[in-house]
Chain A
């Protein structure tokens, strides 16, 4: 079967883990890895896994986009360079999946709104944050049954799974995730809390999702909706597991989740990174399926002067 050819930008942990997930996909093929450090382990590994690699940043990839027929690019660099990367690749008709907090394009949580983005042929979609991917499906599972006045999530992350970029910019994580709980999750007000736990052996990612509904929650329907949503997420993150709940307390609904990673490149405890790469891969697959079926067509984005 024909596959859609992809480029990965950023040769760190996320980019490297993406190679494994994309290689397994029936509709995607990883072709290029883009880095900025010729000595990086990620570039060497990408080459060893059969990808072409450049250490010259996105500019090193641009001349090959047409001849290698690259149609989808994943950006796992930083918010600061994403805008430029996206502009250059969009101009060539490459669709961008943004794993940075830049959020130029619409926010995407696959089981909630991916189909909508694919139908609109969005040329840049943003994957929010690890905590967003792990919790917003549950907020939505409640808000699709009853209106939610307030959604709050607590993400506990293993210290070893949090890189220097996130550490130095925790506020960005807080703002991005809180906003997405509202925009995608459907809560009128959202709040995100992050805890970094150094326990050894490293703890699996834990997420607690609490919603305050406007009216008394319909326990049976909300429980059914939450369990159905968990099954949807498990399709691309098999280690997404309900630990406790839904717990009902007046108008408060609380769900306690755990995320174990697949252990591709990243260790299992890094479920937070795994859920990002898995959601990004799922997003690319949906676009790829539509492109292959001929229902959508990617077009170069004209840039206003």
Chain B
């Protein structure tokens, strides 16, 4: 499928099971489960793993759900259990703060994805600079990247680099992009960033394109790939790590990971703990097709059950209203407004269906 010879290319993989995977578990993971998964990833040679609430530092909230433990409890346990792998965290300015970043660092986190919507990089200077001051491996993470042009993303990436980001990610939060979209965006970044600044790609499998998109990113110059064992992540999950590593082996791309250990881990640890099968299904495919934030999936299913509006209708409407990551409150709001329009719900202010 590829004309570019990638033999011998080195790629750094970053597992998302213990962060994006928290979404698929409705944020309900025990410390013991986290330690078990982290140890298996460490043993399989995965160089980076991300560990926090699904929404990152500061994520514990009514908006994003409460995990049974604080980020500090998870991080302390995981960081003392792993030997080689580096532990990273996610930080969305507006939700997480520098105080929480300091606290994560104190627990042993040494890498951070500082995430903004793909047009709002200038909300991240404080946090990226603070991460660099702590000596952390610092990434600028441009979410919902399908909503910005390659040129626009290049500008945003350049800003993040100027704040101190050592890596800039194209993040396909909606699982919307096709390989050509990914290539155009990664290439545009490669053209403007300093040669020593790395480029990463974070995919979701909503259209079944996680692996193909990651390979396309590598062809265009990306050196870091986010994925998760068994695809445990929001929506139809992240790029499945073990399958990605298998493809890399066939293509001669070097990840340094032990494929068979990852396969065993997916089968023996990850699949049994899934509450629903993380896969391309009607709702997750709708996310990818309509370009909606993957985390909205389970929220939309719950709102659908509560207000009698099909999840697909809600997701399409959210896409139309251009809602972005973090606006989970607008899922219930949209469902309620639709239920009123369909005569299924009364208006509190008037007492009548409006």
Contact = CB atoms under 8 A, between A and B. Distances in A.
Contact of A164 (B98, B122, B321, B348): B122
Interface stretch (B205-213, B231-239, B259-267, B325-333): B325-333
A285 to B, nearest CB: 27
A103 B8 CA distance: 57
Contact of A254 (B94, B321, B332): B332
Interface string B307-334: 0000000000000011110110110110
B117 A208 contact: no
B28 interface: no
Interface string A153-178: 01010010000100111110111000
A196 B120 contact: yes
B187 interface: no
Interface string B249-264: 0000000000000000
Interface in B37-78: 61-63
B101 to A, nearest CB: 10
Interface stretch (A48-56, A137-145, A241-249): A241-249
B97 A171 contact: yes
Given A154-B63, A171-B126, A243 B321 contact: no
B119 interface: yes
B322 A156 contact: no
Nearest to B345: A244
B93 A242 contact: no
A169 B123 CA distance: 8
B292 to A, nearest CB: 13
A203 B62 CA distance: 23
Nearest to A210: B62
A247 B336 contact: yes
Interface in A239-259: 242-247, 252, 254, 256
Residue from B62, B321, B333 with most neighbouring chain A CB atoms (10 Å): B62
Chain A, interface size category, equals: 35 or more
B337 interface: yes
Given A170-B93, A174-B94, A174-B97, A198 B120 contact: yes
A295 to B, nearest CB: 36
Given A156-B327, A175-B97, A168 B122 contact: yes
A191 interface: yes
A223 interface: yes
Interface of B: 61-63, 93-95, 97-99, 117, 119-120, 122-123, 125-127, 147, 321-324, 326-327, 329-330, 332-333, 336-337, 340, 348-349
